[in-house]
DNA sequence: GAGCACTGC
């Protein structure tokens, strides 16, 4: 918060309390997802320093919590998604006089949309002050992005007026010096190299904790296994090491272990995914081992498939990782790649998420904000035209956009109101006519969390047995209804969850999301009604949202091979699905995961005639034969 | 017969 106080340019803006009586003058500080966990604490700290009550002059808003008072709040902390939602009702952000975007260099989809919108609304609101805070490495491109408008406006002969350029702040963390080491020769196996490096540090360096960046759970488990093996064969090397894995899928209690203080004479080794790069901060790290890789999402607009792949990180990421070693005293960073690779081949910045994603949600948000010319929108990083066109095509087929690529009424506007993937939102709208909203809201909430099951090493069999207790012949979606019912009947018991291999935290979130959806549904005039035991209407509603993911079992296929109706891609039912090996002739899936094969996750059996009912335009060219018995 | 980097509304 020093940046706010030290600028000296905000003196007549949002902090002048005397003006708040006549008009709400608010300084709004927005944080991207990575800082989500901290915004309540941050606002509490600011409230404390100002000597005011949290929720009055200073407050915060995150998805399920709004601790602000519209009459008195002058400084509000919020997340990117919340601000985008606010802009749908108030596109010019008239309630605010200053907007500060923090961590803009992270370049999430929401941040990029917001930067584009803020640049646009500055034309209409020259009095709005913008402060963009970004890491040094990205500050230049941020500044360039906002500068172009000025040049373009001058070219267009527009009066430049009193509008000031946004203040671009680059605030580097004040860390201690971190000494960087590179490997001499490229390494073949970064897991093995990371393990050797940890042992070398432990052998030769003074006490201090080690943080290792690998790519995912598999790598992390493998590294821990190797280190444990070493401990058994060579006690001297590894005695005193406390090995701690860290990734988001880890149960909460195990995650917390990384924050416990290191006992005297011991050395903590945290082996982590990217979660420790930005989302959470470990104190006391002195040595850092950087594999140079992370898992990143990539999107193929031709096949409409998002893939998670191991890819080299950027220089910006490498610097961020190194900085994690210098928080308490000077540290050392061991990079498992050569200096030449770093300087010559590593890209300066990562690819913005916008250019690596399916854009249906992004397009619908912009449409709801009244931005019609999506291709001409002034993006900080333009998405590919192919991805844009694919998104428009999908939204058109769902009946969310019309022939002129405008939101349809009411469906398009209603879908934009629902904070979920458009296909799930469409499913909810359809459930109204089919009379099964009660059930579909539950399914929508479950599909919005990562997984309601507890999965882990070596518990596949137990999980399978637990699933059988809830399994429904129709498929995974109906199975979710059984789990939800059981959870409610148990009185939302954590023991019940534990006994059934159900993730308690996920189920609590399901309840929370479902409640939010129920409120929105009622506002949209959806009658929240149950279809009781009629699961056919539930399957029809799922089909109405997910018809584009329809697949047909290949005739004479004993391997369970399906082909997508749309693109004839080869896909299989994932072994975790209740329909695995059941192989109904026709299914729709919620999402694909790609490993050696494309696996369908969350699958439900359907009747092909429902596809033509749900999306006549989408399927008419396939003709009668595609749907033959 | 086996997957899930990280977030958010």
A188 and A77, same structural domain?
A: no
Whole-number pLDDT of residue A175:
80
Whole-number pLDDT of residue A515:
93
A242 and A149, same structural domain?
A: no
Whole-number pLDDT of residue A370:
87
A188 and A164, same structural domain?
A: no
Output the average pLDDT for chain A.
85
Q: Is residue A390 in a domain?
A: no
Of A300, A323, A351, the last residue of a domain is: A351
A131 and A99, same structural domain?
A: yes
- How many percent of chain A have pLDDT more than 70? 87
Span CA (A255) to C1' (B1), Å: 29
Using the 8-state DSSP alphabet, how is residue A407 labeled?
Answer: B
Span CA (A621) to C1' (B7), Å: 39
Task: Give the residue whose CA sits closest to B2 at C1'.
Answer: A575
When pLDDT is cut at 50, 70 and 90, the band that residue A328 belongs to is confident
Q: Is residue A377 in a domain?
A: no
Give the model confidence (pLDDT) of A507-532 as tens digits: 999 999 999 999 999 999 999 999 99
Instruction: Report the DSSP beta bridge partners of residue A298.
Output: A307
When pLDDT is cut at 50, 70 and 90, the band that residue A402 belongs to is very high
Q: Which nucleotide is the nearest neighbour of A277, by CA and C1'?
A: B6
Distance set, CA A559 to CA A555, A563, A580 (Å): 10, 12, 11
Number of domains in chain A: 3
A254 and A156, same structural domain?
A: no
A197 and A133, same structural domain?
A: no
A423 and A455, same structural domain?
A: yes
When pLDDT is cut at 50, 70 and 90, the band that residue A463 belongs to is confident
Span CA (A2) to C1' (B4), Å: 39
When pLDDT is cut at 50, 70 and 90, the band that residue A135 belongs to is confident
Give the model confidence (pLDDT) of A198-233 as tens digits: 999 999 999 999 999 999 888 998 999 999 888 778
d(CA A82, CA A478): 31
Span CA (A554) to C1' (B9), Å: 39
Of A293, A328, A351, the last residue of a domain is: A351
Helix (H, G, I), strand (E, B) or coil at A540: helix
When pLDDT is cut at 50, 70 and 90, the band that residue A146 belongs to is confident
DSSP A335-385: ESS-HHIIIIIS-SSPPPGGGGS--HHHHHHHHHTT---STTS--SSPPPH
Distance set, CA A435 to CA A438, A528, A612 (Å): 8, 8, 20
Q: Is residue A522 in a domain?
A: yes
Whole-number pLDDT of residue A322:
92
A195 and A52, same structural domain?
A: no
Span CA (A281) to C1' (B4), Å: 22
Q: Which nucleotide is the nearest neighbour of A86, by CA and C1'?
A: B9
Task: Give the residue whose CA sits closest to B3 at C1'.
Answer: A593
Q: Is residue A84 in a domain?
A: yes
Q: Is residue A222 in a domain?
A: yes
Give the model confidence (pLDDT) of A45-77 as tens digits: 888 889 998 888 888 888 888 888 888 888 888
A185 and A116, same structural domain?
A: no
Of A169, A197, A222, the last residue of a domain is: A169
Whole-number pLDDT of residue A233:
80
Task: Give the residue whose CA sits closest to B1 at C1'.
Answer: A575
Give me the phi and psi of A590, to 5 degrees please.
-90, -45
Q: Which nucleotide is the nearest neighbour of A516, by CA and C1'?
A: B9
Span CA (A146) to C1' (B6), Å: 28
- Between A27 and A501, where is the model more confident? A501
Query: Looking at residue A235, which CATH number applies to its domain?
Result: 3.40.50.300
Q: Which nucleotides of B are covered by protein (CB under 7 A)?
A: 1-9
Give the model confidence (pLDDT) of A490-513 as tens digits: 999 989 998 898 988 889 999 999
Number of helical H runs and strand E runs in chain A = 23, 20
A162 and A227, same structural domain?
A: no
- Residue A237, pLDDT > 80, answer no
d(CA A303, CA A414): 28
Q: Which nucleotide is the nearest neighbour of A64, by CA and C1'?
A: B9
d(CA A267, CA A290): 18
Residue A498 is part of which domain span?
A: 418-629
**Residues A133, A139, A144, A147, CA torsion sign:** positive
Q: Is residue A391 in a domain?
A: no
Whole-number pLDDT of residue A173:
64
- Residue A584, pLDDT > 70, answer yes
- The mean pLDDT value for A452-477 works out to 84
Q: Is residue A39 in a domain?
A: yes
- Between A538 and A283, where is the model more confident? A538
Q: Is residue A382 in a domain?
A: no
Whole-number pLDDT of residue A214:
95
- Between A11 and A380, where is the model more confident? A380
Span CA (A159) to C1' (B6), Å: 43
- How many percent of chain A have pLDDT more than 90? 47
Q: Which nucleotide is the nearest neighbour of A418, by CA and C1'?
A: B9
When pLDDT is cut at 50, 70 and 90, the band that residue A391 belongs to is very high
A159 and A280, same structural domain?
A: no
A342 and A274, same structural domain?
A: yes
């Amino acid at each position: 918060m020093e940046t706010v106080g030290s600028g000296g340019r905000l003196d007549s803006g949002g902090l002048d309390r005397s003006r708040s009586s006549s008009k709400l003058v608010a300084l709004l500080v927005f944080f991207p997802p990575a800082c989500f966990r901290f915004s309540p604490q941050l606002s509490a700290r600011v409230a404390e320093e100002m000597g005011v009550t949290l929720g009055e002059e200073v407050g915060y808003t995150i998805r399920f919590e709004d601790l602000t008072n519209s009459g008195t709040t002058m400084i509000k902390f919020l997340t990117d998604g919340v601000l985008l939602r606010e802009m749908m009702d108030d596109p010019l952000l008239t309630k605010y006089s200053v907007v500060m975007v923090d961590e803009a260099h992270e370049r999430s989809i929401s941040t990029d949309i917001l930067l584009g919108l803020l640049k646009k609304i500055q034309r209409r609101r020259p009095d709005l002050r913008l402060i963009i805070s970004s890491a040094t490495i990205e500050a230049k491109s941020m500044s360039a992005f906002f500068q172009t408008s000025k040049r373009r406006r001058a070219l267009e002969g527009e009066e430049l007026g009193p509008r000031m350029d946004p203040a671009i702040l680059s605030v580097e963390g004040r860390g201690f010096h971190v000494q960087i080491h590179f490997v001499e020769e490229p390494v073949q196996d970064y897991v093995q190299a990371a393990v050797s490096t940890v042992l070398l540090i432990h052998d030769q360096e003074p006490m201090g904790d080690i943080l290792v960046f690998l790519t995912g759970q598999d790598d992390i488990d493998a590294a821990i296994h190797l280190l444990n093996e070493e401990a058994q064969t060579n006690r001297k090397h590894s005695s005193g090491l406390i090995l701690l894995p860290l990734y988001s899928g880890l149960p909460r209690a195990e995650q917390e272990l990384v924050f416990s203080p290191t006992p005297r004479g011991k050395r903590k080794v945290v082996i982590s995914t990217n979660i420790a790069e930005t989302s959470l901060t470990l104190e006391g790290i002195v040595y850092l081992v950087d594999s140079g890789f992370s898992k990143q999402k990539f999107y193929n607009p031709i096949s409409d498939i998002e893939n998670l792949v191991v890819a080299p990180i950027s220089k910006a990421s490498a610097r961020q990782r190194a900085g994690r070693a210098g928080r308490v005293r000077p540290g050392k960073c061991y990079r498992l790649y050569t200096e030449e690779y770093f300087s010559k081949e590593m890209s300066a910045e990562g690819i913005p998420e916008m250019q690596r994603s399916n854009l249906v949600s992004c397009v619908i948000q912009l449409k709801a904000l009244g931005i019609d010319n999506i291709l001409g929108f002034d993006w900080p990083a333009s998405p590919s035209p192919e991805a844009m066109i694919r998104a428009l095509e999908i939204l058109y087929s769902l009946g969310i956009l019309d022939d002129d690529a405008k939101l349809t009424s009411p469906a398009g506007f209603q879908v934009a109101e629902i904070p979920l993937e458009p296909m799930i939102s469409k499913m909810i709208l359809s459930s109204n006519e089919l009379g099964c909203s009660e059930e579909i809201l539950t399914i929508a909430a479950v599909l919005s969390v990562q997984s309601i099951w507890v999965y882990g090493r070596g518990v596949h069999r137990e999980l399978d047995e637990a699933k059988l207790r809830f399994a429904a012949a129709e498929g995974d979606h109906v199975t979710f209804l059984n789990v939800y019912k059981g959870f409610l009947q148990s009185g939302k018991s954590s023991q019940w969850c534990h006994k059934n291999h159900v993730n308690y935290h996920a189920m609590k979130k399901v309840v929370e999301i479902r409640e939010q959806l129920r409120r929105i549904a009622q506002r949209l005039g959806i009658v929240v009604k149950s279809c009781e035991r009629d699961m056919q209407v539930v399957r029809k509603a799922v089909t109405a949202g997910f018809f584009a993911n329809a697949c047909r079992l290949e005739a004479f296929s004993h391997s369970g091979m399906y082909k997508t109706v749309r693109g004839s891609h080869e896909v299989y039912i994932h072994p975790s699905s209740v329909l695995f090996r059941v192989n109904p002739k026709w299914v729709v899936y919620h999402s694909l995961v790609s490993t050696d094969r494309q696996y369908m996750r969350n699958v439900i059996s359907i009747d092909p005639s429902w596809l033509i009912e749900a999306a006549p335009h989408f399927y008419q060219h396939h003709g009668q034969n595609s749907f033959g018995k």
